Chains A and B, each alone.
Chain A
């Protein structure tokens, strides 16, 4: 499974990457936030963790 393939996770990761690259957030804080926010979404919708429907 890839983070980029889960739409809401990818959107979150993009936001955090952009924050780090724009120097708005330290890189570690940005990655920690992306993981934390992304896992919250995945825990609420565990079906998104499956890499294929079967």
Chain B
């Protein structure tokens, strides 16, 4: 796992940093120094306490990148926004970049936040998110479809594979597995070729319960919030994974993204993890990166459905002054500009929020990341499934959805 110039192993990446940092001791909120003063000649003088704060719990490299974004914002707008750390159990501040993962308790308190659409409207900033991908709206819209937070760093699970490993195992590097069943034969060949870890996964629950369920068309939870991931497709999948563990095809390393480092160092030939990790894998030595949609089970009724998007979103905290709210709204507009979106994609690998940003990203990011983004979007829209759907419907005896 590395971030951009990959000075870190295992501890960076947005998603990653969120989780890793939460377990670490609190760092002073003053650790991140704003560098805004010099550019603010035209701006009114602020006392420190009235400055807008952006709280995050990224790792050191993530923090450095975010600081650069904040500096740029302050410079361009004469703002005085400060970066601070968001620790577990702490009250939200003006703006809060957080992932639901590890922050479920904080996000259970509506009084701590202001809905994003409300903040933007009051500040007179536009928020035309109607053209934003519906898939990116998970967990950030209210019952009326209004945007309550900005899904800034979302991605979706994909299958990454090492083309170099494929060649060693005499597999076609341009033919990644489409189904879990097809994948099994490839894992056997990789093992024969000497790979001790043919396949691994990061975020096991997210990939193998939530997304595997979604792809099979049987959600892991009902709309009312009851867990239902013990149906036939999930049990069959889990049974298959168990046989893979026994056969040595599938190795696990932890509950978060511990496995990502094992793919990056070439030990594991394939991994299922969030699409944004393409930016971490791109410079891995000995790894020629291949990317494919998350495999599916072709004997599940209805064929391949879509994967799920998730990640960190930006939440506005309650109790801010009008000046602070206005600046926060301005920052949201700043982040939505296509050039900033492209910059963020380059750094984090997340999915751009708007079609304009998506189009801009195509020409300006590396081929690997562009390919990953295209696959991620196709996977979310279910379009990547179309060629296979027809086939599975023609299979006799394939209909055993509960």
Contact = CB atoms under 8 A, between A and B. Distances in A.
Interface of A: 1-7, 9-10, 13-14, 17-18, 20-23, 27-28, 30-32, 34-35, 38-39, 42, 46-54
Contacts of A38: 227
A31 B210 CA distance: 13
B230 A32 contact: yes
B268 to A, nearest CB: 15
B172 interface: no
A54 B229 contact: no
B139 A52 contact: yes
B325 interface: no
Interface-central residue, A2, A3, A9, A10, by most chain B CB under 10 Å: A2
A1 B229 CA distance: 13
A28 to B, nearest CB: 5
A13 B209 contact: yes
A32 B229 CA distance: 8
B226 interface: yes
Contacts of A9: 227
A2 B242 CA distance: 23
Interface string B204-232: 11101110000000001100111111100
Nearest to B239: A27
Contacts, number: 121
A7 B101 contact: yes
Contact of A48 (B104, B115, B208, B229): B104
A3 B229 contact: yes
Contacts of A48: 104, 108
Given A27-B238, A35-B227, A42-B225, A52 B141 contact: yes
Given A21-B245, A42-B225, A52-B139, A2 B210 contact: yes
Contacts of A42: 225-227
Nearest to B111: A53
23 contacts: A2-B308, A2-B310, A3-B221, A4-B101, A5-B100, A7-B101, A10-B101, A13-B205, A17-B238, A20-B238, A20-B241, A20-B242, A21-B245, A23-B242, A27-B238, A27-B241, A34-B230, A35-B229, A42-B225, A47-B108, A48-B108, A52-B149, A54-B148
Given A1-B221, A17-B209, 7 more contacts: A4-B101, A4-B205, A27-B239, A28-B238, A34-B229, A48-B104, A52-B141
A17 B205 contact: yes
Interface of B: 100-102, 104-105, 107-110, 112-113, 115, 138-142, 148-149, 203-206, 208-210, 220-221, 224-230, 234-235, 238-239, 241-242, 245-246, 250, 252, 255, 308, 310
B205 A10 contact: yes
A22 B250 CA distance: 11
Given A20-B238, A21-B252, A27-B235, A5 B142 contact: no
A13 B235 CA distance: 13
A50 B206 CA distance: 17
Contacts of A10: 101, 205, 255
Nearest to B208: A17
A53 B242 contact: no
Contacts of B115: 54
B142 A54 contact: yes
